[in-house]
Homo-oligomer: A and B are copies of this chain.
Amino acid sequence: MNAIQIKNVTKRYKNVAALHDVSFSFESGKIYGFLGRNGAGKSTLINIIANRIFADSGEILIDDLPAKENIKVHEKIFCMSEADLYDAGLKVKDLFKWINRFYDSFDLDKAFEIAGKFNLDTNKKFKALSKGYQSIFKLTVALSLMVPYVIFDEPVLGLDANHRELFYDLLLKDFQHNERTIIIATHLIEEVANIIEEVVLIDQGKVLLQDHVSTLMEMGYSIYGPAKEVDAYCADKNIIGYDELGNLKIAYVLGEKTPLPKNSNLSASAMNLQKLFVKLTEKGGI
């Protein structure tokens, strides 16, 4: 089976359990949202998969082969991460060329093409780039490597809204031509809700939930309209959150949709995934 299999992985830092007997799989050819709060254990697991740190126990299999210190496996996977693993004193164009020498599957022309779309100045040194453009450099590298498994760890940190949209567009276009496994760890849940197919939600070092986005979306819905009407409709509902905008209100409702009152000014729309996950990962949960 083509997949990343995580088997009973445990990792402790001093006295804190970062991951506690975690088992699940990322299957081949899907786009995953890998979600969880700061400190939940996401980055620890990504670093174990990427062979940067080692689990205390358990193992990772990639395409059925143990991933630990296995070069044949690590040619198949690339992980874009928050940490800066490059010589920050080099210019972007020289970093591209340096990466091109190390990775057979790096597409140098594509890297320059993507950099152009983001107006990334390839003559600048990495350390002279703004935080947003440092993220853009890293996601450009990840999008230009033709490996079967790509992990994006906070790919849009510091990006403006236009560049975030551009990244999501490029990612989906790439996926249409080249169906590989893409794992996106992000805190901007609502923005990736219509890109990802499946969600793995980590909480306090354990898998809290793994499911299809479409199934999660059916857990509830949103109701929008004048605040008084929203409140009246929601009186007997299980509400996980509200947003207000002047006299208008949006309520995020768990459960199956009941009919809207006749002649009301209410409208119903899809579940808000971010509100759902905030609620699920609050102390106590739903």
Contact = CB atoms under 8 A, between A and B. Distances in A.
Contacts of A82: 131
Interface stretch (A3-11, A60-68, A188-196): A188-196
A76 interface: no
Total identical chains: 2
Interface in A159-188: 159-165, 187-188
A132 interface: yes
A226 to B, nearest CB: 12
A75 interface: no
Given A245-B270, A270-B224, A159 B187 contact: yes
A: interface residue count bin = 35 or more
Nearest to A248: B270
Contacts of A278: 161-162, 165
Main secondary structure of the interface of A (DSSP, over half): mixed
A214 to B, nearest CB: 6
A158 B160 contact: no
A212 to B, nearest CB: 10
Contact of A268 (B245, B250, B267): B267
B267 A38 contact: no
Interface in A193-250: 193-194, 214, 217, 224, 243-246, 248, 250
A47 interface: no
Given A82-B131, A157-B158, A161-B274, A245 B267 contact: no
Contacts of A165: 278
B194 A245 contact: yes
A194 B131 contact: no
5 contacts: A37-B163, A38-B163, A157-B157, A161-B187, A188-B188
A281 interface: yes
Given A82-B131, A269-B269, A162 B37 contact: yes
A154 interface: yes
A105 interface: no
A113 to B, nearest CB: 18
B131 A162 contact: no
A32 interface: no
The 4 closest A-B pairs by CB, nearest first: A267-B267, A37-B160, A38-B132, A224-B269
A133 B154 CA distance: 15
Q: Counting chain B CB atoms within 10 Å of each CB, which of A36, A161, A163, A245 scores highest?
A: A161
